[in-house]
Amino acid sequence: MPQRIFSRLACPRASLAVLLVAALAAGAAGCPDEGPAQPSPAGASAAPTPTPAGGTAAAPEGETPLPRAIGAILGRLKLVKEEYQAAIRDGKVINATEYEEAEIFAEQAALRFRRIESAFEGEAAAIAEGVAKDLGLLMQRIAAKAPLSEIQTLVASLVQRIAALNPEEIPQEIEGTVEAVARADATIRAEVQAEGYRIGVFTDAPRTLWLRDENGHLKETPPPEGATHYLGVVVREPRTKRFLPATPVEVRLGKGKPQRLTWVWGDFQHYGGHLSFPEGPFELAVTVGPMAYDRHGDMLTQWTKPATVVFRGRREGAVVRFEGKPPAPAAADYHLGDDVLQALAEAREVTTAGPYRVGFIAERPEPVWLWKDGGPSLVAATEKDTHHLEIALMEQASNRMIPGAKVTLSLVPRSGGAPLGIPLHPLASAFYHYGATVAVPPGDYEVRAKIEPPPFATLGGPRFEGTHEAIFHWNRGEK
């Protein structure tokens, strides 16, 4: 077996990193009711691409280049697993919409793979033949309502083999997310897990923060007098290491007064503030949560209670040391950047607006839970609702997901008439996004996404200032 195929198959963590180079290209990915894949732009040419088997594999004339096509297939397989997990329990359908979407995404993956199967040669062709057969098997087992574990195993195997056929390396789309997690892991001095939270601490020299005032403007704020150190608390999901937004974090040094930390965006998302650590040993109590954030059903029971942990440490001049273990790895079945890749896979269109990269998603109606009075409150989908509309919001420079902003959609009929205004909720789910379930009449729309800044402070200078607008086109058909 050629080395390139072997290395990808032997390293499943690397294999999912190739998910979805295609997602940033218009037409390369979309929601379940999409049409056929769009050809490459006029005048674009794809040079023959080396295959793992040592031959060449160029997409047929007018077709999507091979790496992008593979990315789109992998994105759909990722969605199959997510939708099926929400749809089936004990061999019975508990969510008909999710089940139907799992079927559609599996069918799309199989169709797209058939288009590129002939591009592979040698040993890669043998792998491609097996993949094609198992994509057919996947559709059969979904139709038979097979156990979730069987579908997950089959999807994982398919993803691994298809990724091994991809001639491209890790896409830039997830580099910023992977780097942020790596920097957090390297900076954290001690980490514990409690009540569904991964809580890590670090210290640094006092530093300037840019804090938002009541008008939403960032104001340079120097460290207070008497502070010896900047304290950072990193709050993440235990399984995925995704950073948790909008989570109250309070610290108490010894028997002193509790201090509320500020939500901060920097090299990685955390909660920070300035403290005066005593010389010698100390105890630091950290209380986090609950996460005051709207959510989908898959996050309904997560981060609804607070957790308190105590870190012991010692200060010796400028150096603060904490007792404890370094960050543990993420779960073996999760790959850093999967959330970004899934967001791009679901987006009908992706564009930029100021400091943001923005994706527009239109799905079938679904309920959401809004965070009210200290807990989630159901907002059910009604019979009149036609769609759940979403915006995926990322930092343009790093492609990291941005939570907590204020996003409003305006659907402007191209044939004339009054626009439909839709305030979106910031939602926690498989990827952080903004969404609302609404009734949208059939028509051809210009979709305008108005983005107002998130509330967090920033390090290293002001970021995400002002209001920006992203514009999309959406032909909302009769379906």
Name the nearest CA neighbour of 451 among 429, 423, 478.
423
What is the model's pLDDT at position 55?
38
- Least reliable range by pLDDT among 17-31, 102-116, 433-447: 17-31
The token pair at 161 is 């083999």
pLDDT, position 47:
32
Mind spelling out the 3-state secondary structure of the chain? CCHHHHHHHHCHHHHHHHCCCHHHCCCCCCCCCCCCCCCCCCCCCCCCEECCCCCEECCCCCCCCHHHHHHHHHHHHHHHHHHHHHHEECCEECCHHHHHHHHHHHHHHHHHHHHHHHHCCHHHHHHHHHHHHHHHHHHHHHHCCCCHHHHHHHHHHHHHHHHHCCCCCCCHHHHHHHHHHHHHHHHCCEEEEECCEEEEEEEECCCCEEEECCCCCEEEECCCCCCCEEEEEEEECCCCCCECCCCCEEEEECCCCCEECEEEECCCCEEEEEECCCCEEEEEEEEECCCCCEECHHHCCCCCCCEEEEEEEEEECCEEEECCCCCCCCCCCCCCCHHHHHHHHHCCEEEEECCEEEEEEEECCCCEEEEECCEEEEECCCCCCCEEEEEEEEECCCCCECCCCEEEEEEEECCCCCCEEEECEEEECCCCEEEEEECCCCEEEEEEEEEECCCCEEECCCCCCCCEEEEEEEEECCC
User: Regarding predicted confidence, which is higher, 150 or 24?
Assistant: 150
Bridge-based pairing state of the strands 356-363 and 387-395:
antiparallel
- Residue-level pLDDT at 275: 97
Predicted TM-score (pTM) above 0.75: no
pLDDT value for 32: 36
User: Which tokens go with 287?
Assistant: 């209380």
Residue 12: predicted pLDDT: 32
pLDDT (average), residues 313-328 = 93
Whether residue 235 is predicted with pLDDT greater than 60 in this model: the reply is yes
Instruction: Give the pLDDT band of residue 165 (cuts 50, 70, 90).
Output: confident
Domains with residue ranges and CATH for the chain:
3-170 (no CATH), 175-322 (2.60.40.2480), 338-476 (2.60.40.2480)
Rounded average pLDDT over 181-210: 94
- Between 435 and 66, the more confident residue is 435
Bigger pLDDT: 56 or 326? 326
Q: Bridge-partner residues for 190, per DSSP? A: 201
| 417 pLDDT above the threshold of 50 | yes
Q: What is the mean pLDDT of residues 240-269?
A: 96
pLDDT grade, residue 98 (50/70/90)? confident
Please give the average per-residue pLDDT across 357-361, as a whole number. Answer: 97
Position 318 pLDDT exceeds 70: yes
The mean-pLDDT minimum among 133-147, 162-176, 296-310, 426-440 falls in: 162-176
Q: Are 29 and 37 in contact (CB under 8 A)?
A: no
What percent of the chain shows pLDDT beyond 70? Answer: 85
Statement: residue 31 has pLDDT above 60 = no
Q: What is the pLDDT of residue 324?
A: 92
Give the pLDDT score at 20. 36
Pairing label, strands 56-57, 88-89: unpaired
Q: Which of 54-63, 204-213, 280-289, 360-369 has the lowest mean pLDDT?
A: 54-63
Residue 64 — very low, low, confident or very high, per pLDDT cuts 50/70/90? low
The yes-or-no verdict on residue 479 having pLDDT over 80 is no
Question: Of the given ranges (9-18, 196-205, 226-235), which has the lowest mean pLDDT?
Answer: 9-18
pLDDT of 35 over the 80 cut: no
Instruction: Evaluate if residue 40 carries a pLDDT over 80.
Output: no
Residue partners of 295: CB distance under 8 A and separation at least 6: 302, 368, 369, 371, 376, 427, 428, 429
Residue 26, pLDDT score = 29
**How confident is residue 200, by pLDDT bands cut at 50, 70 and 90?**
very high
Could you read off the pLDDT of 396-416 as tens digits, one per residue?
999 999 999 999 999 999 998
160 vs 196, residue with greater confidence: 196
* CA nearest neighbour of 37 among 50, 46, 28: 28
C-alpha closest to that of 422 among 371, 357, 474: 474
pLDDT of residue 174: 87
